[in-house]
Structure 1
Amino acid sequence: MVSTPELRDLPRPPTPKRSFDVAIIGAGILGNALAVALAKQGRDVLLLERDLSEPNRIVGELLQPGGVRALHELGLEGCLEGIDAVPCHGYQVRYHDDPVHIPYAPDENGVRPQGRSFHHGRFIQKLRAASKATKGVTMVEATVSKNLVKNSASGHIIGVRCTLKGTKDEICYFAALTVVADGCKSNIRSEFITKQVQVKSNFFGLELIDTKMPLKNHGIVCLSNRAPVLIYQIGTHETRALVDIQGKAPSQADGSLKSYMLGAVLPTLPEDVKPSFKKAVEDSKSIRSMPNSWLPPTMNQTPGVMFLGDSMNMRHPLTGGGMTVAFNDVVLIRDLLKDVEDLEDTDLVLEKLFDFHWKRRNLTSVVNILAQALYALFAANDPNLAVLQKGCFAYFQRGGVCIDHPVGLLSGMLRRPLVLYTHFFLVAFYSIWIMYKTTSPFLWPVCFFRSFAVFYTACVVILPYIWSELQ
């Protein structure tokens, strides 16, 4: 049995203390890491969370090697211990049950890095325990109002309004810098960020028990005529299966969703996985879901407040890049703010946030664009995308840099956007060549005209995301 700390019975904050250097809304992945990082700089940090009981989510369970490295830089690597976390060495991509092995690429020392997969809630509780144990962090269980406290004269954000757990009275905490890290469903975002969250599909998650994996310690991506299925181990006995469904999902109430899982999804899975997947579907009273959201990054420009994590930037979770982005953002923010003695110097803080917006792009633009573009190819919901999907798989089969560079980008270890653009368009041209190769010469005139449509589709897939990252 794996246990995690119970944090709900925290003492009330020292009263009448109401003023802090930093107030962080959300004790999730990013909030806890940032609280520890800033407190170690000598800041007085308030960490607010609506509910400190262990969360139960179906995403945020795979930390890529680039995220593991950032966790070490923050001194939080111990949070991966004691939660039954499983090493992850890469992926196996299966195209209509034809597999290709994609291990994580060796680093500059020739060592292949590891990711880690785990139960999300257990990891969160370890991070919260680390925050609680850090001098300078005050953790409070409270619901924060969407209306932040403003200086009526300057318009600067100067704190938060919240209601403590178990009370009905609203109180205010004041801070030189308020960090909004309240996740994908942020109720504060709309006043400060005009970009809209886009949701084109949902992940439906199942927990499989004692599954025999086709390739141990690897994530499995199953490609077929439908949207992709992602499978990875999250504990000694537990394996997560995430089924992507585009558009309106079948109903759970009338049993249509279970029928879809058994009739349409089950036949596309590896033989070793089918028994446990079938049992999980049949035993499940309700199959949980999570929207797959896209939100381009926005520069923080309001004095006194900073948006981070999913409240500011989201991408499709297919590539498992969200936590890697979050921890690396914390490392960058920590380093940029270390020389700022007074966070009430809002002009200087905004300068640092301007630097943050552009410096984070080497990693985050790679993760964001790759996640969205790779999902479009893997979902392949039109004939031209199907050509690109087939070509992408054939490209991986070439091995060498054709897998080392893409998986290096995906893992957060290779942070060069130009490498991503190069490989994406190489995949597009290779897909067109594969189309010719597998078509009768008599139909090559048709392929000639279709090749323009395929290349146009590739441009439509990636160019809007590149543009969104340049703003």
Structure 2
Amino acid sequence: MSTTVGRRKAGEDAEVIVVGAGPAGSTAATYLARAGLDVLLLEKSTFPREKVCGDGLTPRGVKQLIDLGVDTREEAGWLHNRGLRVVGGGITMELDWPDLATFPPYGVVRPRQDFDEMLARTAQRAGARLLEQTTVTEAVVANGRVVGVAAKAGPDKTPVTYRAPLVLACDGVSARLALSVGLDKIDSRPMGVAVRRYYASPRSKDDYLESHLELWDRSDPENPVLLPGYGWLFGMGDGTVNAGLGILSTSSAFGSTDYRKLMRSWLDGTPEDWGFREENAIGKVGGAALPMGFNRTPHYRAGLLLVGDAGGMVNPFNGEGIGYAMESARLAAECVVQALARPEGPARERALDGYPVALKQALGSYYRLGNVFSRLIGNPTVMGVATKYGLPRKTLMKLVLKLLAGLYDPKDGDAYDRIITAATRVTPSL
């Protein structure tokens, strides 16, 4: 005989509402459902859906997939890569991902259209209830506490309200839920903008993710112009390449640049046999903002947890967001599971207050370093000096790769790991 007792109160639609079925939302919903909670996962679009992203995950992101129980073998449809190829200052250098106890020795590439649906279906299999075509517009607040969400459901946008004692805002850079309760972004912290497009290209199969630290407009061969930002080329393994670029808010060109034109100028300067020309383009140029370095806080307040891009979880060192969205989702889920095992009141709130503490412990000092780094490289002179004098030194670049990708063993690591760990320990947390 079953001894399961429903924990939902009258008038509640779930024990936890998760808004947004991207990597953050689907990961959180999976962990919560596996812990036996009644989870309602609300997604504004329908799967499969297109998302703007580089499609590549470093080993840090791969670890989150493995933790979630996802099969990341190549036989399961993942394209593996060995490391990062850095291009700049007339130098090309291939840096393998470090061999660590904490993270796997490979990165992966997979289209976001496929990736996001896979994670959402993982959440469903765990027991989460997914409602697509449900656009959440604002939080429902009672007695100063978030107790649900208001939404428009279905093709006819029928107004609906869903209630639960806790809501996870995984609604991305738009952060509608956070804004609806007055949680604005912190303008002093960095933002990025990324644009990308797919091209049919012979460079589709590549053992390395490729990063271009200098973007040149060579439309006038006599007078090449150095453009702000950095570019990437991620071979998708299917005959196409994801080509894109990013620019930081710390650059003086931020906000006044035509990013699509910027990318066109850069790609027109690449060798023609690479295929990055208009006639080989597949689909349109997509763009997205990248909220970095905890640029929206507090990450928990009165029944609402900010997870992933909604809480500014993008790494300010390298613009990676997927792995950190999943990492923050796992931490949020752990705190929510503990909280809902306690009675309402101070004991439950103490467990929920553990979420921002866990984020600070995991990423706070590292992100503060990253915010400083983003301000430095936003200066073209600093970036030029770093590229000219840093790139030729492979030993130094191995340290830089570990720092930029967050790939270091805090315990029992090598000398590079100890340097990074020491730097984060002496840096105050955000």
Shorter-chain TM band: 0.7 to 0.9
Inter-partner Cα distance in structure 1 for 2:421 and 2:390 = 9
Equivalent pair of 2:173/2:290 in contact (CA under 8 Å): no
What's the CA shift string for 1:131-182, capped at 9, x where partnerless?
22222x111124344332222xx31111112222134432222111111110
1:228 is matched with 230
Q: 1:388 aligns with which of 386, 389, 399?
A: 386
1:340 equivalenced with 2:339 (yes/no): yes
2:86 is matched with 93
2:141 is matched with 150
Residues 100 and 303 (structure 1 numbering): CA distance in 2 closer, same or farther, change over 3 Å? same
1:210 is matched with 201
1:194 equivalenced with 2:184 (yes/no): yes
* More helix per residue: 1
User: How big is the shift at 1:334?
Assistant: 3.3
Inter-partner Cα distance in structure 2 for 1:122 and 1:346 = 41
Inter-partner Cα distance in structure 2 for 1:350 and 1:281 = 57
2:257 is matched with 249
Residues 314 and 242 (structure 1 numbering): CA distance in 2 closer, same or farther, change over 3 Å? same
Counterpart of 1:389, as a letter, is: T
Counterpart of 1:216, as a letter, is: D
**TM (normalized to structure 1)?**
0.72
SS in 2 for 1:19: coil
Counterpart of 2:386, as a letter, is: L
Equivalent pair of 2:197/2:281 in contact (CA under 8 Å): no
Matches within 5 A, 1:36-75: 36-59=30-53, 61-75=55-69
Counterpart of 1:125, as a letter, is: E
SS in 2 for 1:230: strand
Q: Which runs of 5+ in 2 are unaligned?
A: 1-9, 215-225, 248-252
Inter-partner Cα distance in structure 2 for 1:263 and 1:413 = 33
Work out the percentage of aligned pairs sharing the same amino acid: 17
1:131 is matched with 123
Residues 17 and 130 (structure 1 numbering): CA distance in 2 closer, same or farther, change over 3 Å? farther
Which entry has the higher C-alpha Rg, 1 or 2? 1
Residues 283 and 27 (structure 1 numbering): CA distance in 2 closer, same or farther, change over 3 Å? closer
Q: Which runs of 5+ in 1 are unaligned?
A: 1-15, 427-461
What's the CA shift string for 1:244-275, capped at 9, x where partnerless?
354323487xxxx2xx55555433x4x4xx43
1:118 equivalenced with 2:120 (yes/no): no
User: How big is the shift at 1:107?
Assistant: 1.1
Q: 1:164 aligns with which of 153, 165, 168?
A: 153
Inter-partner Cα distance in structure 2 for 1:285 and 1:28 = 21
SS in 2 for 1:232: strand
Residues 184 and 420 (structure 1 numbering): CA distance in 2 closer, same or farther, change over 3 Å? farther
Inter-partner Cα distance in structure 2 for 1:47 and 1:219 = 33
SS in 1 for 2:176: coil
2:219 is matched with none
Counterpart of 1:305, as a letter, is: L
RMSD (Å) for aligned C-alpha atoms: 3.6
Inter-partner Cα distance in structure 2 for 1:380 and 1:314 = 23
Worse overlay, 220-229 or 122-131: 220-229
1:12 is matched with none
Residues 242 and 422 (structure 1 numbering): CA distance in 2 closer, same or farther, change over 3 Å? same
Inter-partner Cα distance in structure 2 for 1:31 and 1:362 = 21
Equivalent pair of 1:161/1:170 in contact (CA under 8 Å): yes
Equivalent pair of 1:184/1:314 in contact (CA under 8 Å): no
Residues 113 and 251 (structure 1 numbering): CA distance in 2 closer, same or farther, change over 3 Å? closer
2:164 is matched with 175
1:356 is matched with 355
2:242 is matched with 240
Equivalent pair of 2:83/2:97 in contact (CA under 8 Å): yes
2:218 is matched with none
Q: How many residues align?
A: 395
User: How big is the shift at 1:373?
Assistant: 5.3
What's the CA shift string for 1:76-119, capped at 9, x where partnerless?
x137778743112211111133112211111139x961111110
Inter-partner Cα distance in structure 2 for 1:19 and 1:112 = 39
